[in-house]
Amino acid sequence: MTLHEPVELVPVTELGDVHLIAVGGAGMSGVAALYADLGVRVSGSDRADSPVLQQLADRGVRVHVGHAAEQLGGADTVVVSSAIAVDNPELVEARRRGLRVWHRSAALGALVLGRRGIAVAGTAGKTTTSAMLATTLVHAGLDPSYVVGAPLQQTGTSAALGAGEHLVIEADESDGSFLQYPAEVVVVTNVEADHLDNWGTEEAYRDGFRRFVTAPGVQAVVLCADDPGAAALADRVSELGDDGPELVLYGESPLADLVLSDVVVDARSTRAHLVWRGNEEGELVVAAPGHHNALDAAAVYAVARLLGVDSATALAGLAAFAGTSRRFERVAEVGGVLVVDDYAHHPTKVRAALAAGRAAAGPGRLLVCFQPHLFTRTRDFADDFGAALALADELVLLDIYPAREEPIPGVTTALVEQASARRLGAEHVHWVPRAEVAATLAALARPGDLVMTVGAGDVTTVARELAAVLAGGEDAG
């Protein structure tokens, strides 16, 4: 995968028939759905069938399982994700025909044209924050469009076309996509080194965020004052002076425009007191455990107020948020054991997820099943993962999920195992074959425990497998 520099955008109505390769992916499916809703003739392919493909078919998308050149049909524009290999037969055929080939970020960026774009970025927290924002603006009656990285629990979809003027985007920094979006308001939740396989250096990665917050057309920048990486962007924005965007800081820092205090986390929710610009107070409540969720909600409140939503409506919208798929998702409770699934795959995300799990477990134990994601990320952050995973009482590890990468000599789950064992003790760290994971977790669990499956790969299937084992083989999903 490589970085993608922005390209010149044209309106969706000028793209002709559109074909998306890997249309079943979390990001691609949302773009396909909105294009279809706009009346564009859309087709797409993916390597395997899935419920997402059926959902797209129900919205009028012509879907194919597997990749073949003839599936392009009469497409005028072909959209690819960063995961598509250069020898994909559909991509090869598109280039042979001289068709317009766009990265997914350009296809999403074209949707912003004619709308007021709100782009939410950050190393961690962007999915939850953008989903919270979409929910809040819907509650406020603004009827926004949105494309986020996971289905909202309220709607069951990650993308919707609203009649309002706003479009909420989860802006992915991993491949430079966030630089493509012509946003009016941008949010940065935090900035910590990640995706160095693409960016090369930490400084290059951080410079991408600097470009993001100072892009032409940005009118307001909302930053987390508590995160050093995000807060450092404030200086770059301030350098633009009166010609630059409005700068808004949020967090527990007394210097923030929105100050949080008295954060309380319990098994099902997070509460905090907020003060907006020194004279507006309120009680923030979100139905998701975790200190990080209070900060994400604060970012949403700030954006809502900038858009003219009144305080009471913004707080009510946040209270209505029911979460997203794979973000501390409660999968089942069987025999007194709560099973939760979470997408966290960067050390900071893992630490935040486990801190929420620790609070939700109360007097019970926290058991964690973690699957490292990518060889490069494991190589770069193995010790940081060990520190984050030390919040668990018992840790079960899977082999690395390679995704798009080839193995790297010497880089295995053993790096995380060793880093975790130094902190937890070797007797509490279990690296087991995939086929034995559910049984291992079931043997470790006892009533009152919380079990979390954590990672961006196929570890998510373990949660329901475990629930079934705990239920004696019955379907607990």
* Structure tokens, 178: 């966030």
Is 124 annotated for ligand binding? yes
Phi, psi of 377 (to 5 degrees): -65, -40
Report the first-to-last Cα separation within the chain, whole angstroms.
35
DSSP 224-293: ETTSHHHHHHHHHHHTTGGGS-EEEEEESSTTSSEEEEEEEE-SS-EEEEEEETTTEEEEEEESS-SHHH
Residue 127 marked as a ligand binder? yes
User: Cα–Cα distances in Å, from 289 out to 125, 250, 322?
Assistant: 13, 19, 11
Burial of residue 348 (CB within 10 Å: 0-12, 13-18, 19+) is: buried
Alpha helices by DSSP H, 116-266:
126-139, 196-199, 202-213, 228-238
Which member of 93, 170, 173, 192 is catalytic?
170
DSSP character string of 59-90: TT-EEEES--GGGGTT-SEEEE-TT--TT-HH
Catalytic: 127?
Answer: yes
Residue 44 parent element (H or E) = strand 42-46
Is 156 marked as a binding-site residue? no
122 is in an annotated binding site: yes
Q: Are 195 and 174 in contact (CB under 8 A)?
A: yes
Please work out, in degrees rounded to the nearest 5, the angle formed at the alpha carbon of residue 137 by the alpha carbons of 131 and 143. Answer: 110
Q: Look up 453 and say whether it is catalytic.
A: no
Query: Is residue 128 annotated as involved in ligand binding?
Result: yes
Known binder of ligand: residue 126? yes
Catalytic residue, chosen from 77, 90, 93, 127, is: 127
- Tokens 């709100």 locate to 118
Q: Do the annotations mark residue 231 as ligand-binding?
A: no
Q: Which of 126, 135, 329, 378 is catalytic?
A: 126
Residue 1: exposed, middle, or buried by beta-carbon count in 10 A (0-12, 13-18, 19+)? middle
Residue 392 amino acid letter: A
Q: Which positions make up the binding site for ATP? A: 122-128
**Which residues does the annotation place in the binding site?**
122-128
Could you give the residue numbers annotated as active site? 126-127, 170
